[in-house]
Amino acid sequence: MTRSIILRSRQVRVLATLGPASNTPDMIAKLFLAGADAFRVNMSHGDQASKVEVIQAIRALEKRYGRPTTILADLQGPKLRVGRFAAGRVDLAHGATFVLDRDPTPGDATRVELPHREIFAAVEPGARLLLDDGKLVLRVVDHEPDRIITNVEIGGPLSNNKGLNVPDVVLPMAALTDKDRSDLAFAIEQGVDWIALSFVQRPEDLAEARKLIGGRAALMAKIEKPAAIDRLNEIVELCDGVMVARGDLGVELPPQAVPPLQKRIVETARRLGRPVVVATQMLESMIKSPSPTRAEVSDVATAVYDGADAIMLSAESAAGDWPVESVAMMDAIGTSVERDPMHGDRVRFTETRPDPTTADALAEAAKNIAITISAKAIICFTTSGSTARRVARERPSIPLLVLTPRMETARRLGMLWGAHAVHTRDVDSFEEMVAKSKRMALRHGLANAGDRVIIMAGVPFRTPGATNVLHVVSIIGDELHSHK
C-alpha cells in the first residue's frame, strides 16, 4: 500500500552534504523536513564504517515519511600533492626557480618531491602548476624524466603535502584510484543511488566506473577539470547526470571564467536530458552565519533560473554551524524564484529539441497540452525512469508525478527536476492505469474534483522504453469521495 508522502512545492531539488554537523539520524531527519531532497555522502572524509549508520539513517526516512530517499556517494578521485619540507614549510619568492623532482628527501625553498610520475611525462614548457588551491603559481620552464624546473610567478608560503593542480594538460591518470574502487564497491553494497566520479578529463574516464557499477546505481560526472570542457558533449552523453564542481573549476580557471562555463554545462546537460547539479560555495557564509549574503542568494537564484535540476550544499550542511538553516534557505530561494511569473520563460530559454522518437514527441506534447488545458499534473508510468527524464527535460509548468514499480528508479529520480516519485505496483490494463492515475493524483494532493491530468505510459504495459500513450482525464466528484 502506498502512503501519503511529503510533496515539495518547488521543482528544483536540494542536495545536502552530510558530515560532522549533520550525520546523526535526528539531524538527517531535520534536514529532510527543512527541504533536503537528496543527500551527498562524501567519501573523501571518514572511513567506510562510519558511513553505514548514515546511509541507514537516510533509508529510515522512507519508512517514517513514505517518500523514497536519494543518496549520492561522491568519490574522492586522485589527489595530487607535493611532498614534505625539512622545516615543515617554506616561502617561495616571486621570480625564483623551484624544482619538482622524484627525490623523497624533504625539500627546501629550491625543490620538493612530486610523487606523481604521470605529471613528469605530461607537462610541457609554459604549462602552469597551481599549489595550495591556486594560491601559488609556477610556470614550467623545462622538464626532464625526473625533474620539472619552474619559475615562481606567484609566490608565498608552502607547507607539507599541499595540493597541486595541473590545468593546462590532460594527465594520463585514471579517474579511479584504489581507494575509489574500494569506496565504490562499498557504496554499491550499501545500495546508494548515485555515484559521483571526480577527476573526469575525457569520456574514457567514465568507462571503468560504469563497468564496476554494473547498472546498480546511476553515474554522475563531476565537471571540475578544464580538459573536460573540451569534450563536454561526449562526457555528458556517456553519464547519467552531471555536477558543476565550481570549487575545483575556480582553482584551475580564472574566477570570471566559471559563470559562463556553468551556464554552458547546465545548458548542455539539459539539452541532452541529463540531470545537472550546481555545487560548491553556494551559501558559503552560512558555514558561520545564520543568514547568507545577498550575492549568494543571487547566485543560487541564477542556477534556479537557468533550470538546474539540483542545487547543492557542501560545508554549509556538512560542517557548518547552521546546517538546518542552510537547507531551509535553499528551499526558500528555490520556492521564491519559481513563484516569479517570469521563471517559466527563463527556465525554458534553453532550447531542448526532442529527438525523433515517439517518447520525446509525447513529452513535448504533454508540456504544451498542460498549458493549453490548464492541467494540474503530468503522471507518467515508468520502469527505468526514462519517461520521467524526457518529460522533465521540457521543464513543464506543472508537477510531474512518477509512478514506478522499482524502488531503485524512484530513489534515483530524487535528483530530477520536478519529479515526485512514488514506488507502487505496476498496472496491467488501460482502465487500471486511468483509475490509478486519478487515485494517486488525489492522494498526493496534486488534483481535485473537476481538474484534468495528463497520463503518459507505454503499451503493452511492463515493457521498458515503450512510451507511446498520452491520455487526458478529468477527475469527477465521485472519485474524490471514493478516495476519501
Which of the residues 30, 59, 79, 81 is marked catalytic? 81
Name all contacts of 57-62 with Cβ < 8 Å and 24+ positions apart: 57/23, 57/24, 57/25, 57/28, 57/29, 58/28, 59/191, 60/25, 61/28, 61/29, 61/32
Q: Catalytic site residue 81? A: yes
- Cell numbers representing residue 351 in the block: 532550447
* Total length of the chain: 484
Contact 6, 68 (CB under 8 A): no
Q: Which amino acid is at 142?
A: D
Residue 48 CB-density burial (10 A; 0-12 exposed, 13-18 middle, 19+ buried):
middle
Contact 150, 97 (CB under 8 A): yes
Which of the residues 13, 51, 128, 222 is marked catalytic? 222
Q: Catalytic site residue 409? A: no
- What residue has cell string 498496472? 427
3-state secondary structure of 28: helix
How far is it, in rounded angstroms, from Cα 418 to Cα 387? 13
Which of the residues 13, 40, 162, 395 is marked catalytic? 40
Q: Catalytic site residue 352? A: no
Left, alpha or beta for 95 (phi > 0: left; psi -120 to 50: alpha)? left
E strands, 13-146, are 13-18, 38-42, 70-74, 89-92, 97-101, 111-113, 128-131, 136-144
Q: What are phi and psi of 13, to 5 degrees?
A: -95, 155
Contact 400, 377 (CB under 8 A): yes
Q: Catalytic site residue 40? A: yes
Q: Locate all alpha helices (DSSP H) within 48-108, ordered by sequence.
A: 48-65
How far is it, in rounded angstroms, from Cα 402 to Cα 393? 14
Q: List, in order, residues 6 or more apart from 127 with CB less than 8 Å away.
A: 139, 140, 166, 168, 169
How far is it, in rounded angstroms, from Cα 237 to Cα 245? 18
Q: Which active-site residues does the annotation give?
A: 40, 81, 222, 280
